[in-house]
Every structure is written in structure tokens, then in C-alpha cells.
Amino acid sequence: MNILLLGSGGREHALAWKMAQSPRCDKLWASPGNPGIAEHAECVELDAGDHDAVAEFCRANAIGLIVIGPEAPLVDGLADSLRGAGFAVFGPSKAAARLEGSKSFTKELCERAGIPTAKFVRCTSLEAGWGALKKFDPPFVLKADGLAAGKGVVIAETREEAQHALAEMFEGKFGPAGSEVVIEQFLTGEEASFFALTDGEAIVPLGSAQDHKRVGEGDTGPNTGGMGAYSPAPVLAPDLEARAMREIIEPTVKAMREEGYPYSGVLYAGLMLTPGGPQLIEYNARFGDPECQVLMMRLESDLVDLMLACAEGRLGEIERPALSGDFALTVVMAAEGYPDTPKKGGAIDLGEAEAQGAKVFHAGTKREGGALTANGGRVLNVTAQGTSASEAQRAAYAAVDAIDFPTGFCRRDIGQREVRRERG
Ligand code: AMP
Ligand code: GLY
């Protein structure tokens, strides 16, 4: 089968690497792809905003499955257009992708379906927001409603800070994403990410992970897209995972189906493990980046089989995904200046990084002639496996140390919380 993968990050490199291992994959195309993806796929430049052009490419190249990696084209309805043109697509429709594209949609769905999540108020004006703040105690959690590249959440310690942040949101700091704001109760606990595949009816768990959002060691400095991740997340113990499935994922998929916008694809739940049980922080309508990299390293099943079964509504008929019992851990190597203004063009020599079984996924690289250079904020995702978090951490950093990337940096403490727990 010919497959088209849309996207260009480390997440998509991990998906391409895994899909290319499937006996069902004859020819893999990627758009726009990156130099790492190009090792498994032929890269083409398609305009994901031009749905007809993507469909035309798929017709001309007899594409049997289209995999949409990032959220923006999903929220833009690309999956609907391609399904309408007769193609099998892995990824939710525009209406279903509102689980990521609109915080207020998700919060109201949770309310209707009785899904545990922080209490909230939806505000459509600054005045309403100021009024709503009175119903909450600090710290205040403010969220721009729409897609804001992971930057739309502000946690304010004081009422003044919250008022200031609200004003910035309504003045357009996050563009149209901030024309509506959700204010919610602050939850305490440890965070974990949980992934499930669904075709709208059947649901299968795909494992857990934890990521490290802050740029600096010890979780300091500004938020990023994620500086590293590991899987599984043992804090999401089997009983908590079962509760998350029963109390959060299953009622969500059921409500989406019953309300007329069945969700199909991967559902990524950001969970807060509170003393009272798991609560939903947010949904994403796609794989996490870099969580996908560690999940793909642990996935033993055929990814193409799973994605096609989701796309064709046959997920209940095939075997559940099998994941290795090992840990996988990924360290993000970013370009100096990330997350503000990452330095482009720095030389990269991967050396013998993959010699011991590690895998270096490309997130933001460019190949000019033979030379590999940095071309983004997050540049490389150095990923390794081990029988424990400590082993996976050691293997990942051994691979990091084999890479020569003078204008790059990474956190040296990815997975540290788990390593400390293992040491007791
Ligand atoms: P989100 O983009 O919704 O995942 O939010 C980004 C981050 O903000 C989360 O990973 C949490 O660390 C934090 N956060 C979001 N909502 C809450 C909440 N209600 N209580 C505490 N922390 C939160
Ligand atoms: N690593 C967080 C995300 O993909 O949204």
C-alpha cells in the first residue's frame, strides 16, 4: 500500500520510521518531511491548506492511507476533505478535532458527560473574565480557547497577574485563539499523558508517557513544546489507567459519537492524578511530540495495521496494540536560544549515536549538500530503550554524548523523577 504522511517534526519521523517497518507499506510519501523522514520516505512539498491539491496527489499516487501528524490541518478539516474524496485517513474530522481546537468545547462536553475535570467558567469578554475571576482562588488558570501552539495557558499567582493576563488575551496576544477564554480551578497532583486509539466505537489503550515542558533542568524557565519524555509513566498505575479509560476516555468517545461527531484517530489525554483520581487537563487530537517518539520505540505491533483499522472502522476486529515492557526515553536537543529565537544553521554530526541501538529522530534539521544543520527550535530527539528508566536514561545520554552539535543544548535530567523513584 502507498501511504502519505503529513508533517515535518520528530513525531512524524518516529511515525515514518515505524510505518516503514510494516510489510504493508510499499511506498511511503511524506509532506513536507525532513532529512530524517527522507531516510524512510520520498518527501514532497504539498500545501496542506489546499485540500484539493492533496487529494489530487493522493489520486495520482494511488495512496491507500493518509496519516495527518499535526493538529493544525486536523482543526482545519483536512481529514474531512480527504475522506470526502474517498480516502482512508488516520486523524479526526474538523468537528471531532475540537477536542483540541477549543478548550470550551471540551470543558462543556465533560460537563455534559460527567467527565472529571477542573471546574471552569467560559468568558467571551474581558468584563466577563474579570467577573469570573471572583469565583476562583489563586493560583488562577487561564486558557485561550483556540490553538496557541502550546502557549495559550497562563497560571497566575495573584489576582493582578490574572487580570493582566486576561487583558493580554482579549487584546489578541494569542490571535483569534484568545477571543474566548476559559478560567478554571487549579488542580494539584502529578501529570501524566495517556494515549488511546479509537475508530469512534472501539477504543484501545496505547500506553502512557510523561514529558518535561520547561526548558531548564529541575523544571525551570519558560515552557516549551517538550524537552524530553519517557514511557511508560509508572505513576499511571494499572488501576488509575483503568479509571482514566472508564471515567474519561470511554465517556468522551461515546459522547462524541452520540452527539454526531465520532472521533477517530489517536486521542491524547493530559491527566492530572489528583488525590481524588485522574482528572482531564486537556485533550490533543494527535500524538504528542516528543511522546510519540517513545511510544513508537515501545510499540511492537504493526502501526499501519492499527492506523488503517482506525481509519476503516475495524479497530474492534484486530489485535490490541502490544507494547514492549521496556522503558523508552527521549532527550530533545534544541538550538541555542530556544524557545525564543533558536539559532539556525548550526552544524550537526551524529557520529556513532545510533551504534548502541539508540535512534535519533530529526525534529528540525536541514541537509545542505551532505551537511546536516539545525533548522528549528527542537532539532533532534535522541531516543533509547532500557529495562528500567535508569537504563533508558543512561543509553539516551550516551547517544547524546556521541553527537557533535556545538550550538545545541539539552536538559541533562530527563526522566530524573522516575530514576529517583527507582533508586528509592
Ligand atoms: P494545557 O495546554 O491545557 O495542557 O496546559 C498546559 C499546562 O498547564 C499543563 O500541562 C499543566 O501543567 C498546567 N495546567 C493546565 N490546567 C491546569 C489546572 N487546571 N490546574 C493545574 N495546572 C494546570
Ligand atoms: N509534548 C506536548 C504536546 O505534544 O502537546
- Which residue is closest in CA terms to ligand 2's atom 3? 288
Three-state SS at 214? strand
Pocket test for ligand 1, best of 110, 121, 281 (most atoms within 8 A of CB): 281
Ligand 2 atom at minimal distance to the Cα of residue 284 = 5
- Which residue is closest in CA terms to ligand 2's atom 5? 288
Ligand 1 atom at minimal distance to the Cα of residue 150 = 2
Of 321, 328, 324, the closest CA to residue 361 belongs to 328
Walk across the sheet containing 140-144 and list its strands.
120-123, 181-184, 140-144, 153-156
- CA of 120, nearest ligand number: 1
Ligand 2 atom at minimal distance to the Cα of residue 229 = 1
Pocket test for ligand 1, best of 182, 212, 282 (most atoms within 8 A of CB): 282
Of 19, 9, 8, 420, the closest CA to residue 230 belongs to 420
Using a 6 Å cutoff on CB, does residue 182 contact ligand 1?
no
Q: Rounded distance, CA 363 to CA 375, Å?
A: 9
Other beta carbons within 10 angstroms of residue 235's beta carbon come to 17
Q: Rounded distance, CA 187 to CA 102, Å?
A: 20
Ligand 2 atom at minimal distance to the Cα of residue 11 = 4
Ligand 2 atom at minimal distance to the Cα of residue 150 = 5
Of 20, 24, 51, 50, the closest CA to residue 33 belongs to 20
Of 130, 236, 224, 111, the closest CA to residue 183 belongs to 130
Contact in structure between 26 and 2 (CB atoms under 8 Å): yes
Q: At a CB cut-off of 8 Å and minimum separation 6, what does 188 contact?
A: 272, 274
Residue with cell 510499499: 26
Pocket test for ligand 2, best of 289, 294, 331 (most atoms within 8 A of CB): 289
**pTM (whole model) above 0.85:** yes
Q: Rounded distance, CA 19 to CA 22, Å?
A: 5
Q: Rounded distance, CA 74 to CA 65, Å?
A: 15
Using a 6 Å cutoff on CB, does residue 151 contact ligand 1?
no
Distance spanning both ends of the chain, measured CA to CA: 49
Residue 90 φ/ψ, nearest 5 degrees: -95, 110
pLDDT in tens, the chain (424 residues): 999 999 999 999 999 999 999 999 999 999 999 999 999 999 999 999 999 999 999 999 999 999 999 999 999 999 999 999 999 999 999 999 999 999 999 999 999 999 999 999 888 888 888 888 888 888 988 988 878 776 788 888 998 888 888 888 888 777 776 678 889 999 999 999 999 999 999 999 999 999 999 999 999 998 898 999 999 999 999 999 999 999 999 999 999 999 999 999 999 999 999 999 999 999 999 999 999 999 999 999 999 999 999 999 999 999 999 999 999 999 999 999 999 999 999 999 999 999 999 999 999 999 988 899 999 999 999 999 999 999 999 999 999 999 999 999 999 999 999 999 999 8
